[in-house]
Amino acid sequence: MSQSVVYKHYLRALSKWPKDALRPECRFEDVMQKRIERKFNPSKNVPDGKPAGAVTINEKAEMDQVNAIYSLINNRYTKQYPLGSSFMKPTSNPTHYKDLVRELEEAPNRSWFSSMLNKWKGSLRLS
């Protein structure tokens, strides 16, 4: 397996990574892209453009990393170790996780005023 195959697998896996609407300025794909560029194209990172020497890449270890990314993208662990429905509905607050997901989906599109209003509501609990 050549470096280019591992590199292509990284790019493919990162292209399938879900978008984070809550924190678009700090994306996992961008961080990983920089890492693989440094590892697979070291000459791009040298100021004078001269290669810094041959870089040895452990292809098996890199493919293990790519496979870990694919396993997260494909929800392999959720499928392999499913949680019971009672786990997602705690007795003390059965809608907690549903409310949390709804809140995370609404947050990126919320106006400044709505954000402040929710913040004030959270700090003023009358019960």
pLDDT, tens digit (0-9, with 9 covering 90-100), for 110-120: 888 887 887 77
Give percent above pLDDT 90 in the chain: 38
- The 10s digit of each residue's pLDDT in 8-55 is 999 999 999 998 887 888 899 999 999 999 888 877 655 555 555 556
Q: Which pTM does this prediction carry?
A: 0.68
Q: How many helices and strands (H and E) does the chain possess? A: 6, 0
**Are the C-beta atoms of residues 73 and 13 closer than 8 Å to each other?**
yes
The confidence band for 1, taking pLDDT boundaries of 50, 70 and 90, is very low
- Rounded Cα distance between 60 and 107, Å, is 40
- Residue 122, amino acid: G
Residue 9 is encoded by which pair of tokens? Answer: 């697998």
Residues 15 and 28: their CA atoms lie apart, in Å, by 11
**Total Cβ atoms within 10 A of residue 43:** 12
Give the per-residue pLDDT at 73.
Answer: 95
Task: For residues 77 and 64, give the distance between their C-alpha atoms in angstroms, rounded to a whole number.
Answer: 16
Structure tokens at 125: 């609990």
CA dist 107 → 3, 63, 79, 101 (Å)? 40, 36, 28, 10
What residue ranges do the domains of the chain occupy? 3-80, 84-127
